[in-house]
Structure 1
Amino acid sequence: MFGKKKQAPASSTSSTLKRTNHTPSIIAEDVRLTGTLVSQGEVQLDGRIDGDLRVKHLVIGLTGMVEGLIEADSIVIKGKIIGSLIANKVTIESTAQVHGDVFHDTLSIEAGANIEGSLKHRHEEDKIAPIKPSSSDESSPSILADDDNDLSFVNKQAADKS
């Protein structure tokens, strides 16, 4: 009215989700979801999700099942996961079945839990660096002589003894 431009109202379908309350989202036992689930809060899963999850805090109940990749700050597993899991804090209870790799910062496993896959601390990759030969190492002698290239290391040792 007085020369000021009106600001466009904020879109309700914003690409970033803002948490407005602290009520957990509940996916009931009779619900099956196919696709990606994203939440900035807590999700209680008693149903089944075929797809990826990216949540702040996830509780998979006794009847809950996920088939896909899970990324969370913290997760409590009582049900079943088929797929990889990446989380800061992972709690696997005695009724849990995990079929996939678990990448974690903190891990707790109760006796009786069924885990098929590898458990990896997320910062292991930072601590382990591959050894790369430097150009100065090229002058170092080879374990095998050039004429013994067809011999394995064990066979070479046996040949050296005789």
Structure 2
Amino acid sequence: MFTKGKTPDNTTPVGNKPTAPSVSVPEQAKRAPSSPNRAAPSIISADVKMKGSIVSQGEVQVDGNIEGDIRASSLTIGNTGAVSGEVIAETVIVRGSVKGQVRGKKVQLCTGAKVEGDITHASLSIEPNAIFEGQVRHSQDPLNDAPRPAAAAPESPKV
């Protein structure tokens, strides 16, 4: 009855070619390829024990035991992970344990985490049943702020 946009024999008009069906492209595929400066995520598994410092431009997940400092863009300390040393990252998620200072823009202590040391942060969240022993300091730029020196103990008078 209505033939607008169609020819009398019910086919597509010559000027309008059928288009290919649209295919959904995952968000990761839409992004530009990784730059050479961007590193792949690093995972330190539960059976690994290391002594020394770790520096990464990318993400690091620690499920093992590290004696030393860690600096990364994003750091997750898993349920079995333990770090003895300073931790510095944009995002720090602790599910395991840390003995040492934690510095991060976003710091999250999950249920079951245990942190013994000071935390310097721009944003901090502590879930129920996370254990934290230390001092907390808010900073707009916790990654670049120098840590405060420990308060000097008053000298006792000489006898």
Shorter-chain TM-score above 0.5: yes
The CA deviation at 1:41 is: 0.5
TM-score, structure 1 as length reference: 0.63
CA distance in 2, matches of 1:65, 1:31: 11
Residue 159 of structure 1 corresponds to none
CA distance in 1, matches of 2:136, 2:52: 26
Root mean square deviation, CA, Å = 1.8
What letter matches 1:57 in structure 2? S
Residue 24 (str. 1) matches residue 41 (str. 2): yes
TM-score, structure 2 as length reference: 0.64
Moved over 6 A (4+): none
1:61-80 paired onto structure 2 within 5 Å: 61-80=78-97
Uncovered stretches (5+) of structure 2, i.e. residues with no partner: 1-35, 146-159
Pick from 124, 139, 156 the counterpart of residue 122 of structure 1: 139
Uncovered stretches (5+) of structure 1, i.e. residues with no partner: 1-17, 127-162
1:47-62 paired onto structure 2 within 5 Å: 47-62=64-79
The CA deviation at 1:20 is: 4.2
What letter matches 2:37 in structure 1? R
Residue 86 (str. 1) matches residue 103 (str. 2): yes
Q: Which SS does the other structure have where 2:60 is aligned?
A: strand
Contact (CA 8 Å) 1:19, 1:41: kept in 2 or not? no
What letter matches 1:119 in structure 2? V
Residue 105 of structure 1 corresponds to 122
CA distance in 1, matches of 2:57, 2:51: 19
Task: Name the structure with the higher helix share.
Answer: 1
Contact (CA 8 Å) 1:43, 1:57: kept in 2 or not? yes
